[in-house]
Chains A and B, each alone.
Chain A
Amino acid sequence: MNTYTPSLSRPHLPAGRLLRAALLGAAAAALLLLAVVSGIAIGETDISARIVYEVLANQMLGTSYVIDPINAGIVWNYRLSRALVAASCGAGLAVCGVVLQSLLRNALAEPYLLGISAGASTGAVLVSVAGLGAGLVSMSTGAFLGAVCAFALVALLAHAAGNGGLSNGGQIVLAGIAGSQLFNALTSLIITKSGSAEQARGIMFWLLGNLSGVRWPDTVLTASVTMAGVLVCLMHARSLDAFTFGSESAAALGVPVRRVQLTLLLAAALMTAVMVSVVGAIGFVGLVIPHAARLLVGVRHGRLIPASALIGAIFLIAADVVSRTLIKGQVLPIGVITALVGAPVFAGILLRGRRGHA
């Protein structure tokens, strides 16, 4: 099984390609900035571009335009923090998707595969419905702890089933499905057993993903976790390239398989757990964006990871803008938008892939 694959050797990059990469990077950064600006400028209500500029200038350039405090608060505290959280979560989820798809060699792998969203929902209802923590633990903390517990259980099960190793990605996928089912059942049980009769739609809404409650502390948390997580994944880009051909091949190429697997799974799980606890489970980003990015920049992780992060960030900001503006005076769950856009895009990618291989 000692198969050496020549495509792993680093091809010589001519100057022209380097320039092209730099230009692409600059264009991508400009796009991201544009996305953030439109996230601030477009919202549930109309606030003129002039007022938006004046608010930003007051905050960042130290000017002192006279602005209605409600407008100032909406632009700076609601919209900007929200756009930045959307960008962080989009980037983080997309990179988690890339890592899991490569590590598990499964095109359907996505961040919630590891039982994380199911565990988060159990943690959230334990706090909010069953009253665990007696009001001292917030729903977000409960969700985070639930997510980590679920991941630990799934990882242990996969570890045991795989005879101490992750030689086969299939085991972790199956363990993830089992874990998700278990925790979803626990969530339903807790909700059904709760004393007061109300529909549990609030919790469902939260699980479909919801960016409305985010404020600056959430921005700081998600941005720093995403940056750290993406950095860890980038550092393992070449190992991930090796995993594309299976863990045996990676081992043959000198990759410390188990250490890398553990590090990357842990990084992906922690990133996802933090995001689920802040914004709920936003589907499709972690599944679709990696495939879209692969189509654009190829399978090499040195490029795939930053590209996925950027596309994910821009996509989620755009989805959030649409969710806030599609129906006037009402906000849709962002998960509905990502699925509505994500499913056809995914179908398109599949069809294009078929033509490419024909």
Chain B
Amino acid sequence: MLLRSLASTALLATAFSAHATDFPVQLQNCGYTLTLDKAPTSVVTIGQAGTEMLYALGLGDKVVGTALWFNPVQPRFKAVNDKVPRLSDNIPSFESVLGKRPALVVSQFEWMVGKDGVVGTREQFHDLRIATYAMPADCEGKNNLVGSDGTRTASYDVKALYKGIRQLAQAFDVEARGESLVKALSDRQTQAVAKVKSSGLQNLSAALWFSSADLAADPYMAGKNGVAGYMMQALGLRNVITSAEEWPTVGWETIARANPSILIVARMDRRRFPADDYQKKLDFLKKDPVTQHMDAVKNGRIVIVDADALQGSIRQVDGMEQIANAVLKIEGLSK
């Protein structure tokens, strides 16, 4: 797998070598126009998705500071990441970002750098001649001024992720690497979709349980328009949750009555709520007087997926593969 992707990188590199970026370059980004006279020599990333995306593009040596970590860095990037100063695990201060004198700031969320940004507004950085880039996955078709995690005005599409990869690759003059990364990700997604199709299972429905504020309380479920909702829909699974919010709270009564054929349960390192532990989630599903009667629970059609894969990041395809592999193992459903 690794060899194959290396080989394809090499192939693509020759195919696209003519496409070197012509500076100055202008990028349209979430309502702003980014003008770069040359490839940025230093970048601060706020949000793990952007950090790992730059690492995947081989730009680790350009990253001079990182912040906002949800999970440990992917093992394949550990060596690169160890050399980069971490400004903070959580939200960095405006001045700690400035202190690195970056040419560019890449932010995963608009609520970090954006109109109501807790780190700062984009204008604040622009005034100091620091360029900013916001991930299209978080701003396109999404209103981040409404709802605690923002509200999607249109369904998320993986194209927004690819656009982010391509634009960053263009900004750093590594377009061939960007194309090969996009190709590798979209090939894997195509294979995952084909896998579910090959199972021959018809009318598959699903619900994805992220966590709950208290074990028995109304759970946070994947809404229909968010990243996780897109993953289900792209795989051919009908999400029984119809809310447009990114992570709506939905009562177990509604979920149990909807009786999805598959329940997807998030696994995470976070331990803020009891239900962050997926073992406790499984235990609850089997013991609760209502959920124990759901078809998915009775027949063991429960899929575990890593929470890091439920964001608009290069890890998303990992989650789609996990779900697809689990669907192949499902038994007892009519074809």
Residues of A near any B CB (own CB < 8 A):
43-45, 68-70, 73-74, 76-79, 128-129, 131, 138-140, 192, 194-206, 210, 212-215, 324, 329-331
Within the complex, the shortest CB–CB distance from B228 to chain A, in Å, comes to 15
Minimum Cβ distance to chain A for residue B245 (Å)? 8
Contact A203 B289 (CB under 8 A): no
Contact check, A196 vs B253: say whether CB atoms are below 8 A apart. no
Residues 257-306 (chain B) with a chain A CB within 8 angstroms: 257, 259, 269-274, 288-290, 293-294
Contacts of A200 in B (CB 8 A): 272
Contacts A203-B213, A210-B217 given; indicate if A74 touches B256 (C-beta within 8 A): yes
Q: In the complex, what distance in Å separates the CA atom of A76 from the CA atom of B289?
A: 9
- Tell me if B216 and A45 are in contact (CB < 8 A): no
Interface centre among B89, B251, B259, B293 (most CB of A within 10 A): B251
Alpha-carbon distance A201/B217, docked complex (angstroms): 14
Contacts of B216 in A (CB 8 A): 212-215
Do A78 and B90 touch (CB < 8 A)?
A: no
Q: A212-B251, A329-B250, A331-B250 are in contact. Are A195 and B89 (CB under 8 A)?
A: yes
Asked if B290 and A78 make an inter-chain contact with CB atoms under 8 angstroms apart, the answer reads: yes
Interface residues of B (CB under 8 A from A): 68-70, 89-91, 148-149, 211-218, 220, 241-243, 245, 248-254, 256-257, 259, 269-274, 288-290, 293-294
> B7 to nearest A CB, angstroms?
37
Assuming the contacts A70-B257, A74-B253, A202-B273, asked whether A197 and B241 have C-beta atoms less than 8 A apart, the reply is no
Q: Are B214 and A139 within 8 A (Cβ)? A: yes
Closest to A333 in B: B249
The complex places the Cα of A198 from the Cα of B69 at a distance, in Å, of 9
Task: From B218, B254, B257, B272, give the contact of A198 (CB < 8 A).
Answer: B272
- Asked if B293 and A205 sit within 8 Å, CB to CB, the answer is no
- A278's closest neighbor in chain B, by CB? B214
Contact residue among A44, A197, A206 (Cβ-Cβ distance under 8 Å from B69): A197
Query: From DSSP, what is the main secondary structure of chain B's interface residues?
Result: loop
Docked pose: A210 CA to B151 CA in angstroms: 22
Cβ–Cβ contact B271 & A131, under 8 A: yes
Q: How far is the CA of A205 from the CA of B56 in the complex (A)?
A: 37
Contact of A331 with B70 in the complex, beta carbons under 8 Å: no
Pairs A-B, 3 closest by C-beta atoms: A213-B217, A73-B290, A212-B218
Q: Within the complex, what minimum Cβ distance (angstroms) separates B269 from chain A?
A: 7
Tell me whether A44 and B213 are in contact in the complex, defined as CB-CB below 8 angstroms, given that A70-B294, A196-B89 are known contacts: no
Assess the B256–A198 pair: CB atoms within 8 A: no
- Mind listing 14 A-B residue pairs with CB under 8 Å? A43-B253, A73-B293, A77-B289, A78-B252, A78-B290, A196-B269, A196-B270, A197-B69, A205-B249, A213-B212, A329-B242, A329-B254, A330-B245, A331-B251
Complex interface: chain A residues within 8 A of B273 (CB):
128, 139, 202
Across the interface, do A78 and B293 meet the contact criterion of CB distance under 8 Å? Answer: no
Question: Which residues from chain B contact A138 at a C-beta distance below 8 Å?
Answer: 274
Q: Which one of B70, B211, B214 has the highest number of Cβ atoms from chain A below 10 Å of its Cβ?
A: B214
Kindly state the separation between the CA atoms of A68 and B257 in the bound complex, as whole angstroms. Answer: 10
Bound-state Cα–Cα, A177 to B99, Å: 39
Q: Give the total number of A-B pairs whose CB atoms are below 8 A apart.
A: 116
Residues in chain A near residue B70, CB distance under 8 A? 196-198
Besides A195-B89, A206-B214, 15 new A-B residue pairs in contact (Cβ under 8 A), listed by A number: A44-B254, A70-B259, A73-B288, A74-B253, A77-B290, A79-B253, A197-B69, A201-B148, A201-B149, A202-B211, A212-B217, A212-B251, A212-B252, A330-B249, A330-B250
Cβ contact within 8 Å between A197 and B68: yes
A182 and B175 CA atoms in complex are apart in Å by: 53
A32 to B251, CA, bound (A): 25
* CA gap between A206 and B259 in the complex, in Å: 26
Chain A: minimal CB distance from B132 (Å): 19
Residues of B within 8 A of A76 (CB): 289
Complex Cα–Cα for A110 and B122 (A): 43
Q: Do B272 and A210 have beta carbons less than 8 Å apart?
A: no
Q: Which residues of B contact A196 (CB under 8 A)?
A: 69-70, 89-90, 269-270, 272
* Chain A residues within 8 Å of B274, by CB: 128, 138-139
Task: For the complex, give the distance between the alpha carbons of A201 and B269 in Å.
Answer: 18
Contacts of A131 in B (CB 8 A): 271
Closest to B46 in A: A197
Shortest Cβ distance from B214 into A: residue: A213
Contacts of B253 in A (CB 8 A): 43-45, 74, 78-79
* Contact B217–A74 (Cβ < 8 Å): no
A89 and B199 CA atoms in complex are apart in Å by 51
CB distance B213 to A206 under 8 Å? Answer: yes
- Shortest A189–chain B CB gap in Å is 13
Taking the nearest CB of chain B, how far is it from the CB of A284, in angstroms? Answer: 21
Residues of A near B289 (CB, < 8 A) are 73, 76-77
- Docked pose: A69 CA to B257 CA in angstroms: 11
CA separation between A76 and B272, bound complex, in Å? 30
Q: Do residues A202 and B220 form an inter-chain contact, with CB atoms below 8 A? A: yes
CB distance from A327 to the nearest CB of B (A): 8
> Nearest chain B CB to A16's CB is how many angstroms away?
48
A139: B residues at CB distance < 8 A? 214, 273-274
Whether the Cβ atoms of A213 and B215 lie closer than 8 Å is yes
Interchain CA distance A23-B245 in the complex, whole Å = 49
**C-alpha gap A44/B245 in the complex (Å):** 18
For A77, list chain B residues within 8 Å (CB).
289-290
- Contact among A198, A215, A330 with B270 in the assembled complex (CB-CB below 8 Å): A198
Give the residue name and chain of the B residue nearest to A218 (CB): B216
